[in-house]
Chains A and B, each alone.
Chain A
Amino acid sequence: MSQSTGIDIKQSLVDTVIAGLMALIVFGPIVGVLLDGYDFNLQTGNVAGLVGVVMMGRFAVSLFFQSQAGRNFLYRQASKNDGVTVTAPDYKSNLRWIIPVVMVLGLIVPFIASKYVLTVVILGLIYVLLGLGLNIVVGLAGLLDLGFVGFYAIGAYGLALGYENLGIGFWTMLPLAAIMAAVAGAILGFPVLRMHGDYLAIVTLGFGEIIRLVLTNWTSFTHGPNGVSAPLPTLFGLEFNRRASEGNIPFHEFFGLKYDSGFKYIFVYLILFLVVWAVLYVKHRLTKMPVGRAWEALREDEIACRSLGLNHVLVKLSAFMLGASTGGIAGVFFASYQGFVNPSSFTFFESALILAIVVLGGMGSTLGVVLAAFFLTVMPEILREFADYRVLMFGVLMVVMMIWKPRGLVRVTRTGFATRKGTVK
Chain B
Amino acid sequence: MSKAVVKKTLVSLAVAGAITAAQADIVVGVAGPHTGAYAAFGEQLWRGAAKAAEDINAQGGINGEMIKLVKADDACEPKQAVSIANRLVDSDEAVAVVGHFCSSSSIPASVIYDEAGVLMVTPASTNPALTDRGLPGVFRVCGRDDQQGDVAASYIVGELGAKRVAVIHDKDTYGKGLADAMKSTLNSYGVKEVLYEGLTRGEKDFNALVTKIRSVDADVVYFGGLHSEAGPLVRQMREQGLTAKFISGDGIVSEEFVSVAGSPEYVDGVLMTFGADPTSYPAGKAVVKSFRDTGVEPEGYVMYSYTAMQVVAKALAANDLDPVAASDWLHSGVKVDTAMGTKSFDDKGDLLVSDYVMYEWDAKGKYNMLNK
Contacts and interface: CB of A to CB of B under 8 A. Distances in A.
B106 to A, nearest CB: 11
B224 to A, nearest CB: 11
B101 to A, nearest CB: 14
Interface stretch (B21-29, B57-65, B76-84, B337-345): B76-84
Given A115-B89, A217-B198, A339-B108, A388 B9 contact: yes
Interface stretch (B172-180, B227-235, B240-248, B305-313): B172-180
Interface stretch (A79-87, A162-170, A295-303, A340-348): A340-348
Given A34-B2, A43-B3, A45-B3, A225 B9 contact: no
Interface stretch (B109-117, B187-195, B271-279, B283-291): B109-117
A338 B85 CA distance: 11
Interface residues of A, number: 38
A34 B1 CA distance: 11
A34 B4 CA distance: 11
Q: Which of A114, A117, A226, A390 has the most CB of B within 10 A?
A: A226
Contact of B171 (A38, A117, A123, A217): A217
A227 B111 CA distance: 14
Contacts of A388: 5, 9, 34-35
A224 B116 CA distance: 28
Contact of B71 (A46, A224, A387): A387
A415 interface: no
A115 B90 contact: yes
Interface in B1-33: 1-3, 5, 9, 12
A67 to B, nearest CB: 31
Contacts of B116: 261
Contacts of B172: 225
A313 B172 CA distance: 40
A224 B78 contact: no
A224 B201 CA distance: 14
B90 A116 contact: yes
A65 B255 CA distance: 51
Contact of B173 (A50, A114, A227): A227
B171 A387 contact: no
- Main SS class of interface, A: helix
B9 A115 contact: no
Contacts of A46: 1-3
Nearest to B79: A345
Interface in A100-141: 114-117, 119-120, 123
Nearest to B114: A242
A345 B78 contact: yes
A153 B115 CA distance: 26
Contact of A31 (B2, B9, B171): B2
Contact of B176 (A225, A338, A387): A225
A391 interface: yes
B35 A338 contact: no
B91 interface: yes
A37 B83 contact: no
A128 to B, nearest CB: 16
A219 interface: yes
A216 interface: yes
Contacts of B354: none
A216 B172 CA distance: 8
Contacts of B177: 226
Given A345-B77, A387-B71, 6 more contacts: A46-B2, A119-B86, A225-B176, A226-B176, A340-B108, A391-B35
